Structure formats: structure tokens, C-alpha cells
């Protein structure tokens, strides 16, 4: 049986339907993302990477906290 579904996929991030958001990129587990969200996420990552000072959202000093003073 071919259930002709006219692409009712939505962006998993902003929820926009594919016919509005454009072609969605499919990730694993059925997650999808639209171009706008990709751009937005990249911009956010960029901002965090270059943000001055410690990240107020979380602890940054958890990676190398340990015996490092030899
Ligand atoms: Zn989106």
C-alpha cells in the first residue's frame, strides 16, 4: 500500500513545516532541521565560542579540574 504522504515533516527545532522552512535536513532518530535553524545554531555556537569570560550558562572548569599542578 502506498500511502502518498505529501511530506508533512517539520523542523524538529522551530517546528516549521517543510513547505515553509524549505528542505529539511534529516538527522538520526528522525530529527529534522531547517536551514534557518542550522544558521541560527551556528551563530549561537559562534557566539559562545568567542564569548568573553566564563560561560554563564554552565560550569566551564570541569574539564581539567584535577591534579594538574605538578
Ligand atoms: Zn527550523
Q: Is residue 43 part of a domain?
A: yes
Tally of domains within the chain = 1
Is the pLDDT higher at 3 or at 10? Answer: 10
- Residue 41 covered by a domain: yes
Residue-wise pLDDT for 13-56, tens only, equals 999 999 999 999 999 998 999 999 999 999 999 998 988 876 56
Ligand 1 centre to CA of 68 (Å) is 42
pLDDT score at 59:
57
Residue 14 known to bind ligand: yes
Interatomic CA distance for residues 10 and 19, integer angstroms = 9
Q: Which domain holds residue 32?
A: 18-49
Annotated ligand binding at 37? The verdict is: yes
From ligand 1's centre to the CA of 45, what distance in Å?
16
Residue 1 lies in a domain: no
Please say if the pLDDT value at position 61 is more than 90.
no
Phi-psi label, residue 69: left if phi above 0, alpha if psi -120 to 50, beta otherwise: beta
Amino acid at each position: 500500500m502506498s500511502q502518498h504522504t505529501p511530506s508533512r515533516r517539520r523542523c524538529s527545532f522551530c517546528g516549521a513545516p517543510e513547505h515553509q522552512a524549505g528542505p529539511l535536513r534529516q538527522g538520526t532518530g528522525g530529527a529534522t532541521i531547517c536551514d534557518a535553524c542550522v544558521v541560527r545554531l551556528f551563530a549561537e555556537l559562534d557566539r559562545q565560542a568567542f564569548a568573553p569570560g566564563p560561560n554563564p550558562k554552565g560550569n566551564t572548569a570541569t574539564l581539567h579540574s584535577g591534579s594538574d599542578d605538578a
